[in-house]
Amino acid sequence: MSTVNASMTVIGAGSYGTALAITLARNGHDVVLWGHDPKHIATLQHDRCNVAFLPDVPFPDSLYLESDLATALAASRNILIVVPSHVFGEVLRQIKPLMRADARIVWATKGLEAETGRLLQDVAREALGTA
């Protein structure tokens, strides 16, 4: 992917992350959708839709796909985390050193931390080192 100046970077290219990325892109935002599996991202890029989860919903032109986390995070200061709760903390720890200094994070991840039952806001505070 060439450098994109996006409104939002969505972390998580499953059904929920893809749906939210499409919605943002349809509403006038340039969106980068990141997924951890390069083969999956290449398939999404080739098909310009998520055949497995949303087969009849084409990607808007303003939705960009990326498998390199650093590149995805450099594209926008606004980060939407949409990953399963059991990997939420690990993903935050991965993105922390790669985030822009002016980054803003929100999440649409549902549930509690699987191992401890902690609220995701507590997991985020610990992973990102914020008060």
The full set of domain ranges for the chain reads 8-128
Is residue 10 within 8 A of residue 33, CB to CB? The reply is: yes
d(CA 98, CA 89): 15
Of all residues in the chain, the percent with pLDDT exceeding 70 is 97
CA 109 to centroid of chain Cα atoms: 10
Round the CA-based radius of gyration of the chain to a whole number and report it.
14
pTM of the entire structure? 0.94
d(CA 59, CA 69): 20
Tokens of 108: 């649409």
Q: Say what the pLDDT of residue 131 is.
A: 52
- CATH topology for the 8-128 domain: Rossmann fold (3.40.50)
Q: pLDDT tens digit string along 22-79?
A: 999 999 999 999 999 999 999 999 999 999 999 999 999 999 999 999 999 999 999 9
Q: Say what the pLDDT of residue 3 is.
A: 57
Given a cut of 90, whether residue 107 has pLDDT beyond it is yes
